[in-house]
Amino acid sequence: MTTVLVIDDSPSEMAKFREILTKNDFTMLEATNGERGIELAIEEVPDIILMDVVMPEMNGFQATRKISRNKSTSHIPIVIVSTKNQETDKVWGQRQGAKDYLTKPFTETELLNAIDGVLQPNNAQKTTKKSTQTASAKSSTSSQANSSSVATTTEVQVSQQKPSNGIYL
């Protein structure tokens, strides 16, 4: 049976996780704050962690960073499940070590798909590889058709990635 550690301080959200996970034959561990979540991750070594972001004392980004950088827990995939829905939040979560990001409120199907997606990395890699090959083929065709416009596009993309204040996320 797959063991899921849920780190969330909301009793109602925890109840929703409990209902969905137990109904679908997962073993569930619960932590109501980041510090306890880290302790449980080290003690129990779950198969996956579902992490809220907005919590007292230690937020989910901090806990994700600590778990993903600890040698004994770095292999555990983390899915951030949060009400924070900005693209910057998603990017920051990935930079802290999260493998996926799910926005609340979520459906049972969305949660199960997110869990399956990080527990079955071969399926995700096949999809990513296919997408990369398709993108490469399109890029080759574009560059053959008009190499000067591709160079201009590349220059614009590079300049957009570098912020004027010199601070990178």
**Any idea where the domains of the chain sit in the sequence?**
3-123
Residue type, 35: E
Report residue 92 as tokens.
């920051």
Note the pLDDT of residue 115: 97
Note the pLDDT of residue 96: 97
Note the pLDDT of residue 118: 96
Note the pLDDT of residue 123: 55
Note the pLDDT of residue 140: 43
DSSP 55-98: -SSS-HHHHHHHHHHSTTTTTS-EEEEES---HHHHHHHHHHT-
Note the pLDDT of residue 122: 60
Note the pLDDT of residue 120: 87
Give CA–CA dist 36/149, Å, rounded.
Answer: 53
39 and 67 in contact (C-beta within 8 Å)? Answer: no
* Single pTM value for the model: 0.72
Give CA–CA dist 107/16, Å, rounded.
Answer: 10
15 and 39 in contact (C-beta within 8 Å)? Answer: no
Note the pLDDT of residue 162: 43
Q: Class of 3-123 per CATH? A: alpha beta
Using 70 as the pLDDT threshold, list the residues of the chain that sit under it.
Answer: 122-169
